Amino acid sequence: MTNRYAGYAHQLRRGWWAMVRFAKDSHPKPIMGEGGVPVVFETEIEALRAVNKHLLQYLNFPIVGGEVETSGHATVARAKAEMLFAGGGRVIQVERV
């Protein structure tokens, strides 16, 4: 299925993995820690809290026009697009009748 988000705790012998699946991925992946190693949580509750945190962070991340607005790149692209639609930077007056 496409456009599906999921999250769950996967039990290991030594703890729990927090598994998340985003719409862009084909299958769930564990939450990774430093060095690209999956984080092992002591309890199922800790793993589920991490799933909740990561899914909400992902879904609430600020996106503008399909580009992430972190480096200012999106604002530059948006300004260029607005100038194009405004007729080369001219201000177009609109009156409502």
Q: Compute the mean pLDDT over every residue in the chain, rounded to the nearest whole number.
A: 80
Together in a domain, 54 and 69: no
DSSP E strands in 1-97: the ranges are 6-11, 16-21, 29-30, 63-64, 67-68
Together in a domain, 42 and 70: no
Together in a domain, 14 and 28: yes
Q: In this predicted model, what pLDDT tens digit does every residue of 3-36 receive, in sequence order?
A: 788 899 999 999 999 999 988 878 889 999 999 9
Together in a domain, 51 and 92: no
Cβ proximity of 32 and 38 under 8 Å: yes
Q: Is the pLDDT of residue 71 over 70?
A: no
**What pLDDT does 97 receive?**
75
**What pLDDT does 91 receive?**
62
Together in a domain, 14 and 38: yes
Please give the residue range of the domain that contains residue 74. 65-97
Together in a domain, 70 and 90: yes
Name which of 34, 35, 43, 31 is nearest 7 in CA terms: 31
Q: In this predicted model, what pLDDT tens digit does every residue of 36-66 receive, in sequence order?
A: 999 999 999 999 999 999 998 888 877 655 5
